[in-house]
Amino acid sequence: MTQTVLQNEITELTPKSGVKVDQRRSIANALGDVLADAFRLFINTQGLHWNVEGPMFYSLHKITESQYESLGESLDRIAERIRALGLPAPESIDEYKSRSVVEDLPRKVELQARVERLVHDYEQAVIRATRTAELAEEVGDIRSVDLLTRQVGDYEESAWMLRATIAS
């Protein structure tokens, strides 16, 4: 009994949701990409939060704090949705890095360029999450559609708030 409890083989589960196995796999794979984007956005947003300096310090520090906290919560929702679809969620830094459309924020550039780049990354993540929602909708996976609709809204709001903060 103890031996069984200590083993942690991650397996593919078989939920009975009305979504066919190959469709579940396809959606879970696309959600893995969305998860990778959210993880990289989390890191970049928190990094900007920690390292912002200058006249925009307070406003960017507060905005990015709210954003990375929201991203942290979304990571769990996305990963758990992948598991609910029966597939293992990605869990390594290397996998997130290779699957994400988001790259590290540049460090040795002006603050405005860093924020503009983060806005761009949020917008790229919107595109991917929207495509994934469309895929889920085609097969009737309304729970994934709901999750992704919320994610798109959060990303669009984050991009807007950052863009408005640096507007001249």
pTM of the predicted structure, to 2 decimals: 0.90
Q: Contacts for 48-51 with beta carbons within 8 Å, 24 or more apart?
A: 48/105, 48/114, 48/115, 48/118
Q: What is the pLDDT of residues 77-116, one digit of tens each?
A: 999 999 999 899 999 999 999 999 999 999 889 999 999 9
CB 124 within 8 A of CB 147: no
Q: Is the pLDDT of residue 3 over 90?
A: no
Distance CA 32, CA 9 (A): 19
CB 72 within 8 A of CB 42: yes
Q: Going along the chain, which residue ranges are E strands?
A: none
Q: How confident is the model at residue 168 (pLDDT cuts 50, 70, 90)?
A: confident
Q: Is the pLDDT of residue 10 over 80?
A: no
Task: Find all residues with CB under 8 Å of 93, minimum gap 6, and list them.
Answer: none
User: CATH for 18-166?
Assistant: 1.20.1260.10
Q: Is the pLDDT of residue 5 over 70?
A: no
Q: What percent of the chain has pLDDT over 90?
A: 83
The domain locations on the chain are 18-166
Q: What is the pLDDT of residues 116-128, one digit of tens each?
A: 999 999 999 999 9
